[in-house]
């Protein structure tokens, strides 16, 4: 495994109490693999990605567990070591909404060069050449380095953000909702671009989205998160090929438009995701689960392997 996450817990210590944003999750990634992370808003997807970058900031903290990259434990590395050896160089991230946060007064070239110079102390001229090379990789012309963010379309801005994540030749790229703000045609272009880059640069991805139809396109394996926990983990075959096993995954699939073109009516998941300050007892999905029974309200189900590579946390699936 190039990345191994074990019993990871990330909590936010707010004035109102402790938010259990990520609460004991386990998964690994092999080299060259794309692991999808799906789940509703607030289930802990971004927090998981930020923890792997070791970028959780106050009031948040990695409260337990381990994250190792090529066998090295990163949560115990100093910030200097993280910056020198891991962040952007081994693992980088296309941050959620980053295309709308480019500095408006900086040219594309300047923002990209700053990333390289900050992490490598390279000369600016050399850094600019690298920036141009990666702009070409993402299908943009070299002269985009002289443009300002407002001169670019949404799709072009997202390409700049992706190019920036690649500048220091990482092996693993965490893509957090990389297509969410884009129209469907540009979405498809960005997905094709990410697939091409994966092959050309031999990358592994963590691909975060709330949209299962996009994961069906890109992921090899899928993690389904609910309220800070993993409720199901399996290959695409396990999740899309047959019926998924966890009631939450089933509901999520049934409510995904593009995977359900032939049905008359889309399903939806009743209720709202739980408050992570006070998560429900037992199985966190029980207040919304059509199959909940007594044990679900009292005891928390572990994530157990029901067939090779397929894990489910549900009392009904044993």
Ligand X SMILES: Nc1ncnc2c1ncn2[C@@H]1O[C@H](COP(=O)(O)OP(=O)(O)OP(=O)(O)O)[C@@H](O)[C@H]1O
Q: Which does 289 bind (CB under 5 to 8 A by kind): ligand X, Mg ion, ligand SF4, none?
A: ligand SF4
What tokens were used for 232?
């199901």
| Near ligand X by CB under 6 A: residue from 3, 8, 25, 47 | 47
Q: Which does 54 bind (CB under 5 to 8 A by kind): ligand SF4, Mg ion, ligand X, none?
A: none
| Residue whose entry in the numeric block shows the structure tokens 């600019």 | 128
Contact between 44 and ligand X per CB under 6 A: yes
Binding window for ligand X (CB under 6 A); candidates: 11-19, 106-114, 261-269, 296-304: 11-19
Binding window for ligand SF4 (CB under 6 A); candidates: 2-10, 69-77, 192-200, 281-289: 281-289
Neighbours of 101 (CB within 10 A): 12
| Near ligand X by CB under 6 A: residue from 41, 78, 80, 105 | 41
From residue 193, alpha-carbon distances to 13, 197, 250, 282, 312 in Å are 39, 6, 30, 42, 32
Binding window for ligand SF4 (CB under 6 A); candidates: 49-57, 151-159, 166-174, 278-286: 278-286
Question: Which contiguous run of DSSP H or E holds residue 212?
Answer: helix 212-218
| Residue whose entry in the numeric block shows the structure tokens 């693999």 | 33
Q: Which does 283 bind (CB under 5 to 8 A by kind): Mg ion, ligand SF4, ligand X, none?
A: ligand SF4
| Near ligand SF4 by CB under 6 A: residue from 132, 157, 238, 286 | 286
Instruction: Between 144 and 222, name the residue whose CB sits nearer to Mg ion.
Output: 222
Site size for ligand X (CB under 6 A): 17
What tokens were used for 73?
């434990």
Binding window for ligand X (CB under 6 A); candidates: 40-48, 74-82, 108-116, 125-133: 40-48
Considering only residues 83 to 142 of the shown chain, the ones binding Mg ion according to CB under 5 A are 96
297 contact partners, CB below 8 Å, separation of at least 6: 280, 281, 282, 283, 286
Query: Can you tell me the distance from the alpha carbon of 232 to that of 222, in angstroms, rounded to the nearest whole number?
Result: 8
DSSP string covering 134-185: HHHHTT--GGGGG--GGGS-HHHHHHHHHHHHHTT--SEEEEESTTTTS-HH
Instruction: Between 41 and 80, name the residue whose CB sits nearer to ligand X.
Output: 41
Asked if 194 contacts 161 with a C-beta cutoff of 8 angstroms, the reply is: no
Asked if 176 contacts 45 with a C-beta cutoff of 8 angstroms, the reply is: yes
What tokens were used for 55?
């970028």
Site size for Mg ion (CB under 5 A): 3
Q: What are phi and psi of 202, to 5 degrees?
A: 55, 50
Contact between 256 and ligand X per CB under 6 A: no
| Near Mg ion by CB under 5 A: residue from 12, 44, 46, 234 | 46
| Near ligand X by CB under 6 A: residue from 19, 51, 52, 161 | 19
* Residue ranges in contact with ligand SF4 by CB under 6 A: 247, 283, 285-286, 289, 291-292, 296, 301, 314-316
* Residue ranges in contact with Mg ion by CB under 5 A: 45-46, 96
């Amino acid at each position: 495994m190039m990345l191994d996450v074990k019993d990871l817990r990330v909590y936010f210590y707010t004035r109102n109490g402790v938010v259990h944003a990520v609460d004991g999750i386990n998964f690994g990634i092999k080299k060259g693999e794309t692991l999808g992370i799906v789940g509703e808003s607030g289930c802990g997807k971004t927090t998981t990605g930020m923890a792997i970058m070791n970028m959780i900031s106050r009031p948040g903290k990695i409260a337990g567990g381990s994250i190792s990259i090529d066998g090295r434990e990163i949560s115990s590395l100093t910030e200097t070591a993280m910056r020198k050896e891991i962040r952007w160089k081994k693992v980088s991230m296309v941050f959620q909404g980053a295309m709308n946060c480019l500095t408006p007064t900086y040219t594309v070239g300047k923002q990209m060069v700053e990333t390289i110079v900050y992490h490598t102390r390279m000369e600016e001229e050399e850094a600019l050449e690298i920036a141009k090379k990666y702009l070409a990789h993402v299908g943009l012309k070299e002269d985009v380095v002289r443009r300002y963010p407002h001169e670019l379309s949404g799709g072009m801005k997202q390409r700049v953000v992706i190019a920036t994540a690649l500048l220091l030749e990482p092996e693993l790229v965490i893509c957090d909702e990389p297509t969410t703000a884009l129209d469907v045609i540009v979405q498809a272009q960005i997905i094709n671009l990410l697939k091409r880059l994966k092959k050309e640069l031999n990358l592994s991805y963590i691909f975060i989205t709330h949209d299962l139809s996009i994961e069906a396109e890109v992921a090899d394996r899928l993690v389904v998160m609910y309220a800070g926990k993993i409720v199901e983990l399996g290959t695409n075959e396990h999740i899309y090929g047959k019926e998924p096993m966890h009631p939450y995954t089933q509901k999520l699939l049934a409510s995904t438009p593009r995977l359900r073109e032939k049905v008359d009516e889309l399903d939806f998941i009743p209720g709202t995701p739980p408050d992570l300050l006070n998560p429900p007892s037992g199985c966190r999905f029980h207040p919304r689960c059509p199959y909940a029974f007594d044990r679900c309200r009292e005891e928390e189900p572990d994530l157990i392997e029901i067939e090779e590579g397929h894990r489910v946390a549900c009392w009904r699936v044993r």
